[in-house]
């Protein structure tokens, strides 16, 4: 253990003796106009929380505006088939997959030889040579076509940036109208002591127009981004 590790360990130990951190009360800046699946709202007689189709439609429209793609699947079985077809058409042979339950389900029809799971100290230069990445969204924001992704490790975070093509897996019940509508969940999660890392918000493929006002994709991250929306 280095001196830095020792200092951080002592700080964490002392902090753990304090009172639990409560998620702050956040005023509603933008009123919620729609029911979302990620918030504690009134359930139907079946016990399910409905998500208006308009939320998914708006998310798809906004993402396409910034050159992103959406593939919609009614079930996970259908999503598995669509992902397998996408991989075959694109010719991806080295796919970095975030280790999340929904990602593990989605890749069941892929050739295991083409899948690479995160590993400690995964060299960024190796990750940049992947054909594509498959990551899991925690929340989708319909107003901007954005995906919020929790990245507890550096490897998770770099899977969002380094491979040239990225597939985000998400369910329709993860749709929120906008960031303020999802903030209570984000604040609760950020207050949990055992969690580390950060949230990444992804809105379409990487793009810039700094050079002569010409739009260039893939400069600072993936040049292709697909959201596989299940449900």
Confirm if 223 and 166 have CB atoms less than 8 A apart: no
Q: How many CB atoms lie within 10 A of CB 73?
A: 19
At 151, list the tokens: 């990245």
Cα dihedral sign, 75-98-134-222 = positive
For residue 140, pLDDT over 90 is answered with yes
Give the C-alpha separation, 7 to 74, whole Å. 50
Of 156, 161, 146, whose CA–CA distance to 219 is shortest? Answer: 161
How much is the pLDDT for 225? 92
Give the C-alpha separation, 160 to 167, whole Å. 9
* Alpha-helix runs per DSSP H in 107-207: 124-127, 154-159, 179-190
How much is the pLDDT for 133? 94
Please state the separation of Cα 23 from the chain's center in Å: 22
For residue 178, pLDDT over 80 is answered with yes
Domain boundaries, the chain: 51-230
Q: What long-range pairs does 42-50 form, CB within 8 A, spacing at least 24?
A: 49/173
Exposed e or buried b per residue across 13-38, where buried means at least 16 C-beta atoms within 10 angstroms of its C-beta: eeeeeeeeeeeeeeeeeeeeebbbbb
pLDDT tens for residues 8-34?
788 878 777 766 666 666 555 566 665
pLDDT tens for residues 34-56?
544 554 333 333 344 456 778 99
At 38, list the tokens: 């990620």
For residue 149, pLDDT over 70 is answered with yes
How much is the pLDDT for 146? 93
Residue range 51-230, CATH number: 3.40.50.10420
Confirm if 142 and 175 have CB atoms less than 8 A apart: yes
């Amino acid at each position: 253990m280095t001196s830095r590790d020792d200092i951080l360990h002592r700080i964490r130990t002392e902090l753990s003796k304090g009172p639990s951190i409560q998620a702050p009360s956040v005023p509603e800046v933008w009123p919620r106009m729609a029911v979302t699946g990620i918030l504690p709202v009134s359930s139907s007689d079946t016990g399910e929380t409905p998500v208006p189709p308009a939320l998914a439609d708006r998310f798809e429209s906004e993402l396409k505006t910034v050159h992103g793609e959406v593939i919609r699947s009614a079930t996970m079985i259908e999503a598995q088939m669509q992902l397998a077809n996408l991989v075959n058409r694109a010719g991806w042979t080295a796919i970095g997959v975030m280790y999340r339950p929904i990602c593990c389900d989605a890749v069941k029809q892929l050739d295991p030889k083409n899948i690479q799971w995160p590993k400690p100290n995964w060299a960024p230069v190796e990750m940049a040579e992947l054909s594509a990445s498959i990551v899991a969204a925690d929340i989708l924001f319909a107003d901007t076509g954005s995906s919020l992704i929790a990245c507890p490790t550096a490897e998770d975070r770099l899977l969002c940036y380094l491979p040239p093509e990225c597939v985000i897996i998400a369910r329709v019940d993860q749709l929120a109208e906008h960031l303020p509508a999802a903030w209570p969940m984000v604040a609760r999660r950020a207050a949990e002591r055992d969690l580390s890392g950060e949230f990444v918000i992804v809105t379409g493929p990487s793009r810039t127009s700094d050079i002569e006002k010409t739009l260039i994709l893939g400069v600072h991250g993936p040049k292709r981004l697909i959201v596989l929306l299940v449900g």
